[in-house]
């Protein structure tokens, strides 16, 4: 980068206090008129010199000012994308997809986020709705993405390629490239505490792990594809970032992604029924964590599978209800014991707190605490599904569902509290606890003792403590 060009332009900007009008997000002609001569000189610089000048000055701006620049740049990219795709006119969308970083990575000593949250943002009146989470990357990663004119979130190379290694079979490896997230129909909107299933899909491309050549593309309902038993099961796959060996390939793939989305737009226009699902073994459903009907592992997709036209799968799934509850695979109940029996009162207090939270934050799927002598069972009142069972006499906690399912329940409860309409119903300590649970329960975890410690704030062990 030609740093000498940047230095040459810097004194001009020092004389005008760094564009105060622009920095304060004011853009009227009257405020910029006094800088006409200086702007004319800067505009005569070559493109590389302008870019170098921006690099030189951006570190001196406030965080809010940098954020404003980023948002302006995203709008510019979107507009250019629209001009390059005249066949895709901008739609009057009522919602748009939004990605947010999981900032808990800072507390974990990482420089990049472990994961990104996906939200839907309603335009008028403004309201955000949590949808799900993308890949969990233990060492952290930076995703590069931008929204296009049709409301899709497109991921940019080279920061969108990942290796998925089966946690139980290290020889089974997939290489995938995130292409984009497809939003629900343009007329879709939502209200506070709405409990429907918006049609959001994740599109990705499978690559050969050795040659990096494309095998084919797949579209999965999101976020269910990330749930236990889904094709991108966060508990099955160990995910790491991959940088392709050739920048030339990356540039080529950027053009391919644009073509892919042009084709995708045509496919979507051809689908008349909104109930069509796109190429997945797991369809959207209501109020229950997603899983498959068996405990069998999902096989690595072959080239022929991936390249097969998705229309047959769409036709098959179109006859199924998009709101059905999928039966969870049978799991063996596991029992854990309090390290200190005196913590029993703390456990019961926390269980009662969750019942009160559910009454206020998600009455449509509230919880209840059922007592039978010295045993207490926390369960979903509507579905009669046991969440946790605690025995005071044995000082034991019994888990009757898999750990991912248990964590998803508490993740949803904590999220409902965090986004509750009436925050005054909760103390500052409760809101802090809810936020902490939302973050911790969204991270893959395979140690039940760690999860129980997070939920109750006390220690458990696998062996009964006398």
Per-residue pLDDT of the chain (466 residues; tens, 9 = 90+): 444 444 444 444 444 333 343 444 444 455 566 777 787 788 888 888 888 888 888 888 887 778 778 767 766 776 676 565 544 445 578 899 999 998 888 888 888 999 999 999 998 888 889 999 999 998 888 888 888 878 889 998 888 999 999 988 988 999 999 999 999 998 999 988 787 889 999 999 999 988 888 888 999 999 999 888 889 988 889 999 998 875 334 444 444 344 444 443 443 333 333 333 333 333 332 333 333 333 333 333 443 444 343 444 334 333 333 333 334 444 678 899 999 999 999 999 999 999 999 888 887 788 999 998 889 999 888 778 889 999 999 999 999 888 888 998 998 899 888 877 677 888 889 999 998 898 888 888 889 999 999 999 999 998 877 6
Ramachandran class of 371: left when φ > 0, alpha when ψ lies in -120 to 50, beta otherwise? beta
Kindly list the distances between the CA atom of residue 277 and the CA atoms of 230, 312, 392, 427, in Å, as whole numbers in the listed order.
15, 11, 47, 42
* 380 closest CA partner among 403, 398, 402, 354: 354
The count of C-alpha atoms lying within 13 angstroms of the C-alpha of 461, restricted to the half-sphere facing its C-beta, is 10
- pLDDT for position 267: 38
Q: In the predicted model, what is the mean pLDDT of the chain?
A: 74
In sequence order, which ranges of 176-245 are alpha helices (DSSP H)? none
Ramachandran class of 140: left when φ > 0, alpha when ψ lies in -120 to 50, beta otherwise? left
Kindly list the distances between the CA atom of residue 251 and the CA atoms of 34, 74, 157, 160, 399, in Å, as whole numbers in the listed order.
41, 19, 8, 13, 49
Residue 342 is given by DSSP the state: G
Ramachandran class of 167: left when φ > 0, alpha when ψ lies in -120 to 50, beta otherwise? alpha
Distance CA 150, CA 203 (A): 15
Look up residue 164 and give its two tokens: 């998925």
Distance CA 287, CA 365 (A): 7
Kindly list the distances between the CA atom of residue 30 and the CA atoms of 18, 26, 237, in Å, as whole numbers in the listed order.
17, 10, 57
Q: Where in the chain are the domains? A: 3-61, 95-317, 334-461
Note the pLDDT tens digit of each residue in 380-431. 887 788 899 999 999 999 998 888 889 989 988 998 888 776 778 888 899 9
Distance CA 221, CA 199 (A): 7
**Do the Cβ atoms of 412 and 396 come closer than 8 Å?**
no
């Amino acid at each position: 980068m030609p740093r000498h060009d940047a230095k040459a332009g810097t004194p001009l900007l020092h004389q005008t206090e760094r564009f105060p009008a622009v920095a304060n997000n004011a853009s009227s002609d009257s405020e910029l008129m006094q800088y006409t001569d200086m702007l004319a000189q800067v505009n005569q610089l070559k493109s590389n010199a302008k870019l170098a000048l921006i690099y030189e000055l951006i570190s001196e701006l406030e965080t809010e000012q940098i954020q404003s620049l980023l948002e302006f740049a995203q709008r510019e990219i979107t507009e250019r994308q629209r001009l390059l795709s005249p066949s895709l006119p901008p739609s009057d969308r009522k919602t748009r997809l939004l990605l947010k970083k999981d900032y808990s990575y800072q507390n974990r000593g990482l420089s990049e986020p472990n994961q990104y949250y996906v939200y839907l943002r309603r335009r008028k009146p403004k309201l955000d709705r949590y949808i799900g989470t993308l890949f969990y990357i233990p060492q952290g990663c930076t995703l590069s993405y931008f929204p296009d004119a049709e409301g899709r979130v497109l991921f940019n190379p080279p920061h969108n390629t990942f290796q998925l290694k089966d946690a139980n079979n290290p020889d089974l490896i997939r290489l995938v490239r995130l292409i984009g997230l497809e939003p629900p129909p343009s007329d879709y909107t939502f209200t506070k505490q709405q409990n429907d299933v918006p049609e959001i899909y994740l599109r990705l491309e499978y690559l050969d792990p050795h040659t990096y050549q494309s095998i084919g593309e797949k579209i999965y309902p999101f976020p269910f594809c990330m749930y236990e038993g889904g094709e991108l099961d966060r508990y099955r796959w160990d995910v790491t970032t991959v940088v392709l060996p050739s920048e030339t390939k990356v540039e080529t793939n950027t053009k391919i992604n644009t073509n892919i989305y042009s084709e995708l737009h045509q496919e979507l226009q051809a689908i008349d029924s909104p109930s069509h699902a796109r190429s997945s073994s797991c369809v959207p459903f209501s109020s229950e964590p997603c899983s498959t009907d068996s405990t069998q592992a999902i096989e690595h997709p072959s080239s022929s599978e991936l390249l097969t036209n998705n229309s047959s799968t769409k036709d098959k799934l179109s006859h199924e209800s998009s709101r059905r509850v999928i039966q969870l695979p049978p799991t063996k109940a596991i029992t854990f014991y309090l390290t200190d029996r005196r913590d029993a009162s703390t456990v019961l207090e926390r269980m009662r707190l969750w019942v009160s939270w559910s009454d206020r934050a998600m009455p449509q799927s509230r919880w209840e605490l059922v007592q039978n002598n010295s045993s207490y069972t926390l369960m979903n009142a509507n579905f009669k599904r046991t969440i946790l069972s605690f025995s005071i006499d044995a000082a034991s906690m019994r888990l009757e569902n898999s750990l991912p399912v248990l964590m998803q329940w508490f993740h949803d409860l904590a999220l409902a509290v965090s986004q509750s309409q009436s925050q005054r119903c909760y103390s500052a300590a409760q809101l802090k606890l809810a936020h902490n649970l939302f973050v911790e329960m969204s991270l893959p975890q395979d140690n039940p003792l760690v999860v129980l410690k997070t939920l109750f704030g006390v220690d458990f062990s696998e062996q009964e403590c006398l």
